[in-house]
A and B are shown apart, each in its own frame.
Chain A
Amino acid sequence: MKNRLRVLRAERGWSQADLAERLEVSRQSVNAIETGKYDPSLPLAFRIARLFESSIEAIFTDEV
Chain B
Amino acid sequence: MGCMTKNPAVRRFIFRTLAASSAYIVLTVSIALFFYKFRPHGPLAYVLAVLPAVAILGNIVAVGLYLIEDKDEVQRSVMVELLLWGLGGVLVLTSAWGLLETFTHIRHFNPTYTYTLFWLCVGIGVPFLQRRYR
Residues of chain A at interface, number, CB under 8 A: 14
Residues of A6-58 whose CB lies within 8 A of B? 24-29, 31-33, 37-38, 40-41, 44
Q: Which residue of A lies closest to B132 (CB)?
A: A37
Q: Mark B9-35, 1 if CB is under 8 A from A, else 0.
A: 000000000000000000000000000
| Most A CB within 10 A of own CB, among B7, B73, B75, B77 | B73
Q: Dominant SS at the B interface?
A: loop
Q: Which residue of A lies closest to B7 (CB)?
A: A26
In contact, A26 and B73 (Cβ under 8 angstroms): no
Q: Which residues of A lie under 8 Å from residue B77 when comparing CB positions?
A: 38
In contact, A33 and B71 (Cβ under 8 angstroms): no
Add 18 more A-B contacts to A25-B72, A26-B3 (CB < 8 A): A24-B71, A25-B74, A25-B75, A26-B2, A26-B7, A26-B72, A26-B74, A28-B2, A28-B74, A28-B75, A29-B72, A31-B133, A33-B74, A37-B133, A38-B74, A40-B73, A40-B74, A44-B73
